[in-house]
Structure 1
Amino acid sequence: MHWTLRQAGLLNRWGRGRLARVLAAALVGALTGLALFSVTQVTGRSLFVITGGVAGMAVAFAIEAYGRAARLTEVRVTVPQISEFTFVVNNDARQVAWQLFVETVTRVSTQPLAGDEGHLREALNSLYGLFATTRETLRASRPSIAVSGGQTVEYLAVTMLNRELRPFLSAWHPRLSAYERDHPAAPESNWPGNAACREALRVVQNDLHSYALGFARLAGVRGAEALLGGNGPSS
């Protein structure tokens, strides 16, 4: 009996609350309709005043929305090769970081190449493509806002190019090209530098894995490790 009365009380309060919300919605709708009707009846100076007020409110909302988009956020990113840094990003920087993450994670830069699989020429071409795409992405984007005590997404990208990609490509591209030029019909597996180049590739892949996770962190990507397929320094 006690439980039945309690249930009845809850239903009664719920019914009253629902009725109040319906009445409030009807009142707001009626006032809105009255306001719109009144505006349509206004002419002359009053019409310009009302129109200017509405335009001013629209501008204020637009400025507020832009402020939210341009708001800076601090993000901590750790790349073992270069230490841990605080990065300052806004929506533009997050977009750049997302593009760089996608380019990095979908190439051989972070995907393993077994000793008896794939071709080193394709791997080097893919890394060259990553180098060119990263440079073009940075060139096409607006520079990040410099903030004291914080790094920008450009810093991480340029460091990846100059510290990881450039040394590897400068060391191994000329050697493989020379072999291909001198032995045009020979299989790549006969190249004396094949094993050493593959080992160097694994090292740079491990390093690039950290940069990919850094870009993901700056872009706000969740589950980046799963997207990388677990291919990292521990693999």
Structure 2
Amino acid sequence: MIVFFRGRAVRIALWGAVGCGIGFALYGLRQIDSGYAFAIGGSLLGMAVAFFVDFYRRTARLTEVRITVPQLSELTFVVNNDSQQVAWQLFVESVTRTSSQPLRDDEGLLREALTSLNGLFATTREILRSSRPSTNAGGFTVETLAVTLLNRELRPFLSKWHPILSEFESAEPNRPESSWERAEECRGELRRVQRNTREYVLAFARLAGVQDAHLMLHSDEEGR
């Protein structure tokens, strides 16, 4: 609620400042030939309208969401229309990958799981790079959650196990992965990362306003 009133006060102040600027501009236009004055005035008005439409679209419908982040605590996130779209993209990319699905000891390959996690890492980073940063103050943002996922979960696991598994594959290319001495250790850490990743997926769903996200994860798991 505090964030809402703070954002509203900022918008009102900005409207007042721009209105003052337009007033000075209109006063100056009185000294110019009427034809040019109308042209310049119309241009200024068009730019002002475009600016405020964009500003309103990005800041409207501020919503506070409380989410418990793995290894952290319950945090308050602030989302608007734009950040909800980013959260939806992150949810879709996460829920459709094997990186968030349990991998039993008797199924799948570690290489495939690591490749999936690496793909999620790259896609998440690309989504963040191509989207505009949240402008809301007073709470955590969807970018905060995504970067935390990358730096606390995916990066440490991939930095450790990708070179170790690659070394095994290069040294003994004809040896099955199941006979790798560190396979059980790697799978144990992978299960932890996948459990935590699923919590982030559900958090993205909440920020995006997705209903029944648990059912989507369960359905995706059953289909594999």
Q: TM-score normalised to the size of structure 2? A: 0.72
Task: Answer yes or no: is the 8 Å Cα contact 1:104–1:212 preserved in 2.
Answer: yes
Please state how far the C-alpha of 1:70 moved relative to its aligned partner. 3.0
Task: Answer yes or no: is the 8 Å Cα contact 1:112–1:231 preserved in 2.
Answer: no
Query: d(CA) in 2 for partners of 1:109 and 1:103?
Result: 10
Aligned counterparts, 1:74-223, within 5 A? 74-148=64-138, 150-223=139-212
Q: Report how many aligned residue pairs link the two structures.
A: 175
Please state how far the C-alpha of 1:67 moved relative to its aligned partner. 4.9
Percentage of matched positions with identical amino acids: 64
Q: Give the gaps of 5 or more residues in structure 1.
A: 1-51
Q: TM-score normalised to the size of structure 1? A: 0.68
Please state how far the C-alpha of 1:72 moved relative to its aligned partner. 1.5
Q: C-alpha deviations, 1:167-201, integer Å up to 9, x for none?
A: 11111111100000000111111111111111111
Residues 96, 64 of structure 1: alpha-carbon distance in 2 compared, 3 angstrom cutoff: closer
Task: Answer yes or no: is the 8 Å Cα contact 1:110–1:231 preserved in 2.
Answer: no
Structure 2 residue identity aligned to 1:168: F
Q: C-alpha deviations, 1:53-98, integer Å up to 9, x for none?
A: xxx9xx79x9499458733211111123211111111111001001
RMSD after superposition: 2.6
Q: Give the gaps of 5 or more residues in structure 2.
A: 1-41
Residues 189, 144 of structure 1: alpha-carbon distance in 2 compared, 3 angstrom cutoff: same
Query: d(CA) in 2 for partners of 1:128 and 1:140?
Result: 18
Task: Answer yes or no: is the 8 Å Cα contact 2:85–2:208 preserved in 1.
Answer: yes
Q: C-alpha deviations, 1:78-129, integer Å up to 9, x for none?
A: 1232111111111110010011111111112211111111111011001000
Please state how far the C-alpha of 1:146 moved relative to its aligned partner. 3.5
Query: d(CA) in 2 for partners of 1:224 and 1:190?
Result: 37
SS at match of 2:153: helix
